[in-house]
Chains A and B, each alone.
Chain A
Amino acid sequence: MSNVIEARGLTKRYGRHTAVDAIDLQIPAGRIVGLIGPNGAGKTSALKAILGLTNFEGELTVLGKDPSRDRAALMEDVCFIADVAVLPRWIRVWQLLEFTENIHPRFSREKFHEYLKFTKITLDHKVKQLSKGMVAQLHLAIVMAIDVKLLVLDEPTLGLDILYRKQFYTNLLNDYFDEQRSIIITTHQVEEVEHILSDLIFIQDGRIALDCTMEVVQERYVELMVSPDAAEAARALKPLFERVLFGRHIFLYENADRAQLKELGELHTPSVADLFVATMTEGAS
């Protein structure tokens, strides 16, 4: 199957400021991609271009369509949560349900009720009566009940408690995800998603700093933990990044000789968060 998203030289400018700077992107079907970057890196601008919410320069096709021209048709196969606080405040849950059912050909009322069961939300609630977390639950229940090929989640769990967040990602992986679908997630809580991601994209200052699968991440990067006396030797092997934790020095290496490192101390697979910090610090210097 061809790529779900193909971008070549995708650029988004706001006046003189370039939010997205000529990025190339290929996302195949059946992947869960984490789009990670600091605030203002261009994540949201890139997502808005992909969702047809803004115009852009360069080439971009999503499921074979041009999102800036065919947004309506595209939205039959794409669903997104751009921000959890955007459900209209005046609407009642039953109205939202009826409306979505009439508008979206791939919405399932049964599935919606299934997900709603886990919450305290009733059909007669108005959105404005719900807490922020409940609004997020409602929005997620709708989105999960829509059978689409691409799901874009921009900070989907903002305002949710940890129990529901865990539940949500479990549902996403077990009930929702399959080979035909792709999911793009941006979040600041990287630790919570890293175990479900299949691909990782780091974005910094409108450019892609890293784009690879999680397997490649595990092959390419390794973390070494040494006691202070071995730090000098470890530093000589040109680590990407160094930090100190409880008096132990931790070094991050890219494409290093593991046998050589192993002599100095313990080896670990780096967490996405640590890799992110290392990549961003390196990119900034």
Chain B
Amino acid sequence: MKRLMALIKREYWENKGAFRTTPLIIGGIYIVVFLMGIFTFGYFDNEFHTLKEALRALIEHTDASQRAFGVEIGLMFNSFFFSLVLAFVVFFYLLGSLYDDRKDRSILWWKSLPTSDMLTITSKLLSAMFVVPLIFFAVYVATTVVIWLIGSIVVLVLGENPWTLFLGVANPFKPLGLLLASYLAMAIWALPLYGWLMFVSAIAPRIPLLFALVPPAVFAVLQIWIDFLRTFTLKTNLGGLMWNWLANSPLIMSASGHNGEIGASLGIPITDDFDHAATLGNMLDRLFSTDMLAGLALAAVFLSAALWLRRRATDS
């Protein structure tokens, strides 16, 4: 356990820029954009209606439950850019995870220490699945707190009560908890992809990105072509499969209508394999599906292959 923790810390040190600085920059951008929005509004005060009037109109035309709904959906959906960048960070992290130290030959140093290759791979996978999403989530929460603080000050200055306006109307822990759950569910849902990336990272002699993308792309194109010559059966095609995997994922990616109500959605609500409403039950539905089982089997194959390769890997 002590060794695993040391290994995970090692991953954090090596990728501090991607793991920590990147979400901090996004958080900074959120705050700057929010401030710019307020200043823009303030700047046009005389020609347009004032911020104060806009605020009063908001209070008059909405009731607490409507505003609570807005706060909840905002808390979930505002995370969009964090989730997007998180996906890129994890993608490139895993792609380099078993490649970079082979390239710079530092693998000879790591392998001179009494840690098994199994533990090394575990530490890298756990970092991608949990460490990075947790950091991104924490920074997102911190960003939200700062924005709410600034918002409250502005509302107070304008003579209104921020507590009755938005702070006190909704329980923020519910949407944030759901968002966190969605990150964790996505980590499991994405295991076949993570396994593939680690496998490519362990096998690629150079430019792992190419090895990660080109073979599946060629495979998918060939498949589409052969399918096209016969019939139109896109669902079984690798490209179609990947599209379904993305559309059905348990990550909060969009906001749309469900059962006559607008709400945050899991994945992209264009398929009907699963219910897309952002609830814990719908996430678990995906994790306990046969699709997930097939995905886990695939992930196990890729990860075992990655481990086999890592055991034999040296600098040349």
Distance A103 CA – B116 CA, assembled complex (angstroms): 11
* Cross-chain contact A104 with B114 (CB below 8 angstroms): yes
* Cross-chain contact B105 with A75 (CB below 8 angstroms): no
Residues of A within 8 A of B114 (CB): 72-76, 103-105
Of the candidates A83, A88, A89, A105, the one having the most CB atoms from chain B within 10 angstroms of its own CB is A88
Chain B minimum-CB-distance residue to A127: B106
| Residue from the list B6, B13, B315 in contact with A103, Cβ < 8 A | B6
Against A, the Cβ 8 Å flags (1 = close, 0 = not) of B104-116 are 1111111111111
Residues of B within 8 A of A100 (CB): 113
With A72-B114, A80-B112, A104-B113 as known contacts, state yes or no: A88 contacts B14, CB within 8 Å.
Answer: yes
Residue B230 interfacial (CB < 8 Å): no
Interface of B is mostly: helix
* Cross-chain contact A88 with B106 (CB below 8 angstroms): yes
Against A, the Cβ 8 Å flags (1 = close, 0 = not) of B215-250 are 000000000000000000000000000000000000
Residue B164 interfacial (CB < 8 Å): no
A52-70 residues at the B interface, CB under 8 angstroms: 52-55
Q: How far is the CB of B292 from chain A (nearest CB, A)?
A: 32
Residues of B within 8 A of A71 (CB): 111, 116-117, 311
Against B, the Cβ 8 Å flags (1 = close, 0 = not) of A157-190 are 0000000000000000000000000000000000
Distance A22 CA – B5 CA, assembled complex (angstroms): 42
Residue A18 interfacial (CB < 8 Å): no
Residue A246 interfacial (CB < 8 Å): no
Residues of A within 8 A of B6 (CB): 98-99, 102-103
Q: How far is the CB of B21 from chain A (nearest CB, A)?
A: 14
Residue B271 interfacial (CB < 8 Å): no
Distance A55 CA – B308 CA, assembled complex (angstroms): 12
Chain B minimum-CB-distance residue to A91: B13
A104-151 residues at the B interface, CB under 8 angstroms: 104-105, 139
Chain A minimum-CB-distance residue to B2: A102
Tally of contact residues, B, Cβ under 8 A: 29
| Residue from the list B5, B7, B104, B314 in contact with A88, Cβ < 8 A | B104
* Cross-chain contact A48 with B314 (CB below 8 angstroms): yes
Residue B10 interfacial (CB < 8 Å): yes
Chain A minimum-CB-distance residue to B107: A86
Distance A87 CA – B110 CA, assembled complex (angstroms): 8
Q: How far is the CB of A259 from chain B (nearest CB, A)?
A: 51
Residue A267 interfacial (CB < 8 Å): no
Chain B minimum-CB-distance residue to A54: B314
Chain A minimum-CB-distance residue to B312: A55
Residues of B within 8 A of A53 (CB): 108, 111, 314
* Cross-chain contact B105 with A86 (CB below 8 angstroms): yes
Pairs A–B under 8 Å by Cβ, sample size 16? A48-B314, A51-B112, A53-B314, A71-B311, A74-B114, A80-B112, A81-B112, A82-B108, A83-B105, A83-B108, A83-B315, A85-B105, A86-B108, A88-B14, A88-B101, A88-B110
Interface residues of B (CB under 8 A from A): 2-3, 5-7, 9-10, 13-14, 101, 104-117, 119, 311-312, 314-315
Interface residues of A (CB under 8 A from B): 48, 51-55, 71-76, 79-83, 85-92, 95, 98-100, 102-105, 139
Sorted nearest first, the 7 A-B pairs with minimum C-beta distance are A102-B6, A72-B116, A75-B114, A88-B106, A82-B108, A86-B108, A76-B114
